[in-house]
Structure 1
């Protein structure tokens, strides 16, 4: 699949682990504010086709989760997951031809009570 930011400066080729079936939202302090649903890709499932120099990285707390977004338009494209650092979460709404509304209710994961916080 193809994923892009809003302005088109960043373009990714994405291979999802299980299609759109992995769609979920997270309620951690960052994701709850971002509000984007994500789908799963393996670490080798993302290739930056254009705009690697436009991607900006944001990390916080443990630094395990690595959130990437376009430095021009600000759209979140993908992140390396804290819950599983061997996976990426990809912004569902950044996938070409996908409307998150078509998926109906998207489940939530409990990011506020992360196991590594205890």
Structure 2
């Protein structure tokens, strides 16, 4: 799929799960700021994600093929494909007004650069106070 330029640094990225049952599009920068979280689930999944407001995310297909896993505070909604098990996006605890999108689930050709930042999810309550992650889901 081709990208559509909306401004000098944002584009429409498309992506989805491994089997193709879940597809989405997201309006986000061409230079992604990706968080590498070390909380108990993100560490095991090697979850890296960038944050967007809900208004910039569109599920194109597969809503009926999604299932959600929650644990602990039950605030994060770890959404994944029922068929292949891939989590291409989810609702993070830090950003209930947005989505965490897995950059490795985007179709190739629309990302120019990725900057990674560690997020100390093992010490979530302390780290959230000094991180800018919450601002990422604001318009």
Residue ranges of structure 1 left out of the alignment (5+ in a row): none
Q: How does 1:75-114 map to 2 (within 5 A)?
A: 75-97=86-108, 103=114, 106-114=116-124
- Secondary structure class of the residue paired with 2:80: strand
Q: Tell me how many residue pairs correspond in the alignment.
A: 113
1:56 has 2:67 as partner: yes
Structure label with greater radius of gyration: 2
> What TM-score results when the alignment is normalised by the length of structure 2?
0.73
User: Does the CA contact (< 8 Å) of 1:12 and 1:50 recur in 2?
Assistant: yes
Distance 1:57 1:20, change over 3 A: farther
Instruction: Write 1 or 2 for the structure with the bigger share of strand.
Output: 2
> What TM-score results when the alignment is normalised by the length of structure 1?
0.85
Distance 1:81 1:20, change over 3 A: farther
Displaced runs of 4+ in structure 1, greater than 2 A? 18-21
Selected match of 2:23 from 3, 7, 11: 11
Distance 1:106 1:35, change over 3 A: same
Between the aligned partners of 1:22 and 1:4, the Cα distance in structure 2 is 19
